[in-house]
């Protein structure tokens, strides 16, 4: 059965209020059922009905706490001044109603109700025994009810604050996880683009040169086909390492490598593969070379790889130069070719170079080479060493 007005409060709260009302009803019923001395007032049905009337408003105590308290006080006064029934050891209904006002009402209403209750205590005690002991006891129990009401309000506010904070932390963690996943997807997309674009570009150039070399220089054709095979194997190896990160670990299987990234020691091999079917590539370093963090080395490798991929695919160049410049606070990566010069500078490859540089707090510029000839990619990365400097 649906309790009238339950749409205003959660079903559980109404169940608690009904249970409280029944408990109070049981308490106020006791003086009517226990044996009584003959000289005490008789337990009559009218007096019991008025006692029950003081309890019924408690069912709606959360919805209208002040109104319920006023009804309880009015019913109690009617009982006290109209019938001569058994008294109660404690004003149960008034205490519960006053507790609810202290818990749920605004400060102004609480102050007004407290003054009303204080004013009602004195004539009630005077009508009953008129003793100072009863007055002090009544004041104490009503003050305790008020204090418990405020304590409950504070405790619930604290719990709500903790729950809100937990929800905010959970939402923050969810957003951070989504952002981390998006960053990881972007990183994987860049890696896949760099690996596949570089390998396929070299294989296309070498395959196109192969038929011509077969007719004019068979030994060069054989080298071109060997280069295609080597480029394909290298791409497959890098992709396998990349996919190993995404593979879930199975029972009894070793964990896949978490950073399948190339290092600077692999850079000469990359340049050799480009030379085998593309432009002549030279490689120089300036300054004092030193160990770099693994992620920085991977970034340098990928930037050079993507820049050379663009040379092979778009520049039509005969020569390219890769230079790493070590300075005290920064590392400069310069890739220059003698090809047809600037075209678009907004492709995916150049965008990936800019993103990689920005991820390390660096910058990337692309445009015409020295003297307006060819094309140049210039990347500057803040230099954070991973150990002591080493000699060149």
CATH architecture of 179-244+260-382: 2-Layer Sandwich (3.30)
C-alpha 117/C-alpha 136 separation (Å) is 14
Q: What is the pTM of this model?
A: 0.49
Give alpha helix (H) positions in 105-131.
107-128
In the chain, what are the domain boundaries?
Answer: 6-130, 179-244+260-382
Strands 363-368, 375-382: pairing is: antiparallel
CA nearest neighbour of 24 among 53, 65, 55, 45: 55
C-alpha 241/C-alpha 174 separation (Å) is 28
pLDDT at position 17: 86
Tens-binned pLDDT, residue by residue, of the chain (392 aa): 344 444 445 678 888 888 888 998 888 888 887 776 766 667 778 888 888 888 888 888 888 899 998 888 888 778 777 776 677 777 888 889 989 999 998 989 989 988 988 888 888 778 777 788 888 888 898 899 999 999 999 998 999 999 999 999 888 888 888 888 787 777 777 777 776 776 776 677 666 666 665 666 666 666 666 667 777 777 777 666 666 655 555 555 555 444 457 888 889 888 888 887 678 899 999 998 888 888 889 889 989 988 888 888 877 888 999 999 999 889 999 999 988 877 655 566 788 888 889 888 999 998 888 888 889 999 999 986 544 443 33
pLDDT at position 250: 52
Query: DSSP state, 365?
Result: E
SS (H, E, C) 31-83: HHHCCCCCCCCCCCHHHHHHHHHHHHHHHHCCCCHHHHHHHHHHHHHHHHHHC
């Amino acid at each position: 059965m649906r309790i009238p007005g339950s749409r205003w409060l959660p079903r559980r709260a109404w169940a608690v209020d009904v249970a409280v009302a029944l408990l109070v009803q049981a308490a106020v019923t006791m003086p009517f059922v226990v044996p009584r001395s003959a000289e005490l007032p008789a337990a009559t049905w009218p007096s019991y009905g008025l006692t029950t009337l003081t309890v019924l408003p408690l069912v709606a105590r959360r919805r209208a706490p002040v109104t319920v308290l006023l009804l309880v006080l009015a019913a109690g006064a009617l009982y006290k001044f109209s019938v001569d029934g058994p008294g109660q050891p404690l004003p149960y209904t008034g205490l519960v109603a006053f507790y609810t006002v202290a818990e749920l009402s605004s400060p102004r209403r609480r102050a007004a109700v407290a003054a009303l209750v204080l004013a009602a205590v004195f004539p009630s005690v005077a009508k009953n025994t008129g003793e100072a002991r009863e007055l002090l006891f009544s004041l104490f129990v009503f003050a305790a009810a008020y204090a418990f009401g405020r304590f409950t309000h504070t405790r619930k506010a604290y719990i709500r604050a903790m729950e809100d904070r937990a929800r905010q932390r959970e939402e923050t963690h969810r957003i951070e996880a989504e952002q981390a996943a998006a960053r990881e997807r972007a990183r994987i997309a860049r890696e896949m683009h760099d690996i596949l674009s570089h390998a396929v570009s070299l294989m296309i150039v070498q395959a196109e040169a192969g038929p011509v070399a077969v007719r004019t220089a068979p030994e060069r054709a054989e080298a071109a086909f060997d280069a295609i095979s080597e480029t394909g194997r290298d791409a497959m190896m890098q992709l396998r390492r990349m996919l190993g990160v995404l593979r879930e670990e199975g029972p009894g299987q070793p964990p896949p490598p978490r950073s399948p990234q190339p290092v600077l020691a692999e850079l000469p091999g990359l340049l050799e593969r480009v030379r085998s079917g593309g432009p002549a590539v030279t490689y120089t370093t300036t300054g004092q070379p030193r160990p770099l963090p693994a992620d920085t080395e991977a970034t340098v490798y990928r930037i050079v790889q993507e820049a050379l991929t663009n040379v092979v695919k778009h520049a039509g160049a005969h020569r390219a130069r890769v230079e790493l410049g070590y300075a005290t606070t920064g590392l400069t990566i310069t890739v220059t070719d003698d090809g047809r010069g600037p075209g678009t500078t907004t492709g995916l490859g150049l965008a990936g170079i800019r993103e990689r540089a920005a991820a390390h707090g660096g910058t990337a510029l692309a445009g015409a080479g020295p003297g307006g000839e060819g094309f140049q990619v210039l990347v500057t990365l803040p230099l954070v060493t991973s150990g002591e400097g080493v000699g060149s």
